[in-house]
């Protein structure tokens, strides 16, 4: 089964890189956003099963967007994407409800494993709910 995923990153090349990794593996990318504000709007419109969310972005950062998305949908699956050296931001994101994180620069295998683990955790939650 192919999951519906939204990619959020202010760098177009990074969105394209993540999209290529996901599409090659059979995932459906339903939306892309360049900042947190767009991410919240696109989340409501497309209702993806999972979101990859950059932390540092203009207009609205990834942690604020994560909080807004989770206020709309407490079950939202969000995986944060962060640059090295942002451990304090990652901890803040996990406390705000992020499922996991990917550190840039990343290998495709790491991205796919993190996505698969997050989606599996959702299946486990719905099975026990």
Q: What is the mean pLDDT of each successive set of 10 residues along the chain, which is 129 residues long?
A: 91 97 97 98 98 95 97 96 82 93 92 95 60
98 phi, psi to nearest 5 deg:
-65, 145
CATH number of the CATH domain containing 112: 3.40.50.2300
**The predicted structure's pLDDT at residue 12:** 97
Strand partners, 29: 5
Looking up tokens 């939204």 gives 6
Residue by residue, DSSP assigns 19-49 as: HHHHHHTT-EEEEEESSHHHHHHHHHHH--S
Structure-token pair, residue 19:
């999209």
Please compute, for residue 67, the number of CA atoms within 13 A of its CA located in the half-sphere on the CB side.
9
**The predicted structure's pLDDT at residue 16:** 97
Please tell me the pTM assigned to this model: 0.91
**The predicted structure's pLDDT at residue 127:** 47
**The predicted structure's pLDDT at residue 124:** 66
Query: Angle, to 10 degrees, between the axis of helix 62-72 and the axis of helix 36-46?
Result: 30
58 phi, psi to nearest 5 deg:
-75, 170
State the residue range of the domain holding 10.
Answer: 4-128
Number of domains in the chain: 1
Contact 43, 69 (CB under 8 A): yes
């Amino acid at each position: 089964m192919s999951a519906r995923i939204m990619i959020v990153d202010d760098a177009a090349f990074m969105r394209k890189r993540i999209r290529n990794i996901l599409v090659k593996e059979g995932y459906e990318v339903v939306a892309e956003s360049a900042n947190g504000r767009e991410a919240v709007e696109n989340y409501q419109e497309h209702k993806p099963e999972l979101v990859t969310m950059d932390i540092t972005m203009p207009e609205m950062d990834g942690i604020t967007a994560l909080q807004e998305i989770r206020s709309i949908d407490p079950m939202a699956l969000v995986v944060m994407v962060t640059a090295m050296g942002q451990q304090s931001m990652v901890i803040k994101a996990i406390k705000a409800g992020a499922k996991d994180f990917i550190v840039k620069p990343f290998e495709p295998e790491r991205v796919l494993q993190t996505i698969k683990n997050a989606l599996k955790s959702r299946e486990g939650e719905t099975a026990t709910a």
